[in-house]
Amino acid sequence: MTRLAHLGLAELTTLVHNTAADTTAWQRVVRFNSTDRFYARLHSDSLVDVWLLTWLHDQSTDLHDHGLSAAAFTVVRGELLEVRATADARLSSHRRLPGETTWVAPGVVHDVRHSSGPAISIHAYSPPLDSMTYYEARHGRLEPVRTLDADAPEFAGAR
């Protein structure tokens, strides 16, 4: 099996934090869509993809993983709720506030959802996002319901 080149979790965390701080890198592309989450790619190379996402009421990603990619995200504006799942389908919720950066190791299953106010977040994936598996928590375990090729962050489960 070939190892993919990638950034470490600390590097991803620093990248999204620094990108969020550089408002000239993303402010011009911010849009809000009442039907679906808006997303725009800010940067892409062989190591990492960086995305801006916006969130309004009732918009979420559904439980998913990032395939072989690690991820980090930071909230720039508003609040998000991140729900993480364990293998036995226990869910824990974490409010993500402006300026807060968190990372997601490969294989971790989570959901990100709007919590308060129009929200903006910056996400990075390394290696670049290739596929995602979506899950449902059933009978004390996580059951995969679909795996999709990904060409956008958490695109297929967006609501």
DSSP designation for 65: -
d(CA 154, CA 145) in angstroms, rounded, equals: 15
Picking from 99, 110, 120, the residue whose alpha carbon sits closest to that of residue 55 is 120
Q: Which tokens sit at 35?
A: 């039907």
Please state the pTM of the whole predicted model.
Answer: 0.89
The gap from C-alpha 46 to its chain's centroid, in whole angstroms, comes to: 19
Per-position pLDDT tens, the chain of length 159: 445 678 988 999 999 999 999 999 999 999 999 988 999 999 999 999 999 999 999 899 999 999 999 999 999 999 999 999 988 899 999 999 999 999 999 999 999 999 999 999 999 999 999 899 999 998 889 999 999 887 666 554 443
The gap from C-alpha 113 to its chain's centroid, in whole angstroms, comes to: 10
Domains and CATH numbers, the chain: 9-128+138-143 (2.60.120.10)
